[in-house]
Amino acid sequence: MKAKYDKLQTEFAPRYQQLESIKSKLAAQEKTLNENTSRPATGRQTGQRISEAGKKEYQRMLEDSQVTARKREQEETEAIYDKLSKFLDQPHQVWNHQRFRAPTAGDQLCRFR
Per-10-residue mean pLDDT, the chain, length 113: 90 95 93 80 82 94 95 93 84 54 60 50
Any domain includes 43: yes
Q: Note the pLDDT of residue 111.
A: 54
CB atoms within 10 A of CB 38: 7
**Residue 55: exposure state from Cβ atoms within 10 A (0-12, 13-18, ≥19):** middle
C-alpha span between 50 and 53 (Å, rounded) = 5
Contact assessment for residue 61 and residue 23, using Cβ atoms and an 8 Å cutoff? no
Count of structural domains, the chain = 1
Which domain, by its residues, includes 28? 2-82
Q: Note the pLDDT of residue 6.
A: 92
Q: Which residue from 76, 68, 75, 77 is spatially nearest to 16, judged by alpha carbons? A: 68
63 three-state secondary structure:
helix
Any domain includes 20: yes
Any domain includes 54: yes
DSSP 111: -
Any domain includes 103: no
Any domain includes 69: yes
Any domain includes 17: yes
**pTM strictly above 0.75:** no
2 three-state secondary structure:
helix
